């Protein structure tokens, strides 16, 4: 049995979470779900976007499923706080083409490994006379462990190339350190091809020839931006999962946000949340179960009979999830 922290959050978070838990119930695996609060609704009730209790539940569980939260400008980010508190230093964002989904490219399968703890997201900002400044933190320790993570991921998943993305021609000290660390780490991985690109060039290559990428490793802000661009190549944010992984914990979330404009309508695509659960299953070493769920979802998407409106159908969030569940159970 696995203890799983379930953090639905705001907006469509609860809808896609409920749908995904229905899918997981089709597996021959026992999960003990421990629900916890975070986000705007939590703030209105408790005065904080992320209670200490939620952080502790996530720390104590085998893994966490996170739905979506609505951010509050004056308050700390619930998801960034969780990443820091659990030291979830690696963010994984697959960019993969799915059958039956309208997209720019039909043959993509690469992954972005994003450093998750520092960079401009360190939150060190201050107002100055006439403006404001933000401090960008890049350390050897964080750069080394994210690069090692990327190479280990490539090695374990049969991937042949790791590309570093940076802007060392301008940010000579910070991105220069990241680039140098990348090549230092690469020396320990014979047989894996390495190269590096400027972030602006990478953004162009995503549009012109994204098939050239296999594993990308990069810093926090670049990874965030490129991940959303990658999602646009394969059908949008409603189909993209993510994993946040550290030494002792893993947290898995879709990247589409709380979508308050459609919240409560039961029309949100549950695919990203379901695929985040697939990444969780792989993290738990339940690889056969992960493939069952992934293959069932792929079949539903390719058939296009019971899919949500963004995929050209008319199904509700739960109807699509129950169709995925039925595919698992039928096998």
pLDDT band, very low/low/confident/very high, at 80 (cuts 50, 70, 90): confident
What is the SS3 assignment for 270? coil
Instruction: Examine the residue annotation and report whether 228 is marked as an active-site residue of this protein.
Output: yes
Mean pLDDT of the chain: 95
Residue written as token pair 């998943």: 157
Nearest CA to 151 out of 236, 95, 79, 214 is that of: 214
Catalytic residue from among 121, 153, 222, 283: 121
Residue 74 has pLDDT above 80, yes or no: no
Using the 8-state DSSP alphabet, how is residue 121 labeled?
A: G
Q: For 104-110+117-233, CATH number?
A: 3.40.718.10
Nearest CA to 18 out of 38, 2, 33 is that of: 33
Q: Which fold has domain 1-96+236-331?
A: Isopropylmalate Dehydrogenase (3.40.718)
Catalytic residue from among 167, 179, 325, 327: 167
Top pLDDT among 255 and 168 is at 168
Q: Spell out a b/e string for 255-279, using b for 16 or more CB atoms within 10 Å of the CB, else e.
A: bbbbbeebbeebbbbbbbbbbbbbb
List, for residues 39-52, the tens digit of each pLDDT value: 999 999 999 999 99
Nearest CA to 37 out of 58, 18, 22 is that of: 58
Catalytic residue from among 141, 200, 247, 331: 200
Residue 281 has pLDDT above 90, yes or no: yes
Instruction: Examine the residue annotation and report whether 224 is marked as an active-site residue of this protein.
Output: yes
Could you tell me which residues are beta bridge partners of residue 166?
Answer: 198
Catalytic residue from among 214, 224, 282, 310: 224
Could you tell me which residues are beta bridge partners of residue 3?
Answer: 32
Instruction: Examine the residue annotation and report whether 167 is marked as an active-site residue of this protein.
Output: yes
Residue written as token pair 């520092």: 118
Global pTM reads 0.92
Instruction: Examine the residue annotation and report whether 121 is marked as an active-site residue of this protein.
Output: yes
Nearest 10 degrees: CA dihedral of 178, 224, 294, 278? 70
Domain residue extents for the chain: 1-96+236-331, 104-110+117-233
The predicted structure's pLDDT at residue 76:
86
- Rounded to whole angstroms, the Cα distance separating 272 from 20 reads 10
Residue 331 has pLDDT above 80, yes or no: no
Residue 220 has pLDDT above 70, yes or no: yes
Residues in the chain, overall count: 331
Residue 113 has pLDDT above 70, yes or no: yes
Residues 6+ apart with CB under 8 A from 184: 144
Report CA Rg, the chain.
20
The reply to whether domains 1-96+236-331 and 104-110+117-233 share a CATH topology is yes
């Amino acid at each position: 049995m696995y203890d799983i922290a379930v953090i639905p959050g705001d907006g469509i978070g609860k809808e896609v979470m409920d749908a995904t838990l229905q899918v997981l119930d089709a597996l021959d695996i026992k999960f003990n779900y421990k629900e916890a609060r975070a986000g705007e609704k939590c703030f209105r009730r408790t005065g904080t976007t992320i209670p200490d209790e939620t952080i502790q539940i996530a720390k104590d569980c085998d893994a966490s499923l996170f739905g979506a939260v609505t951010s509050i400008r004056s308050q700390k980010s619930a998801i960034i706080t969780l990443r820091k508190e659990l030291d979830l230093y690696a963010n994984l964002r697959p960019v993969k083409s799915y059958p039956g989904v309208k997209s720019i490219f039909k043959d993509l399968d690469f992954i972005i490994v994003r450093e998750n703890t520092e960079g401009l997201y360190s939150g060190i900002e201050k107002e100055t006379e006439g403006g404001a400044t933000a401090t960008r933190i890049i350390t050897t320790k964080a750069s080394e462990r994210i690069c090692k993570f990327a190479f280990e991921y490539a090695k374990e998943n049969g991937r042949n190339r790791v590309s570093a993305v940076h802007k060392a021609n301008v940010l000579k000290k910070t991105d220069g350190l990241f680039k140098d660390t990348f090549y230092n780490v690469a020396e320990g991985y014979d047989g894996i091809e390495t190269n590096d690109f400027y972030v602006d060039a990478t953004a162009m290559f995503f549009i012109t020839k994204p098939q050239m990428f296999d594993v990308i490793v990069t810093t926090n802000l670049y990874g965030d931006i490129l991940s959303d661009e990658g999602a646009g190549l394969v059908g949008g944010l409603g189909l993209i999962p993510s994993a946040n992984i550290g030494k002792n914990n893993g947290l898995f979330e879709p990247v589409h946000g709380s979508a308050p404009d459609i919240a409560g309508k039961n029309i949100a695509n549950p695919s990203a949340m379901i695929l985040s659960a697939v990444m969780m299953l792989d993290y738990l070493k339940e690889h056969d179960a992960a493939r069952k769920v992934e293959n069932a979802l792929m079949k539903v998407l390719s058939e296009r009979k019971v899919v949500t409106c963004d995929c050209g159908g008319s199904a509700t969030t739960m109807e699509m999830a129950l169709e995925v569940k039925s595919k698992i159970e039928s096998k």
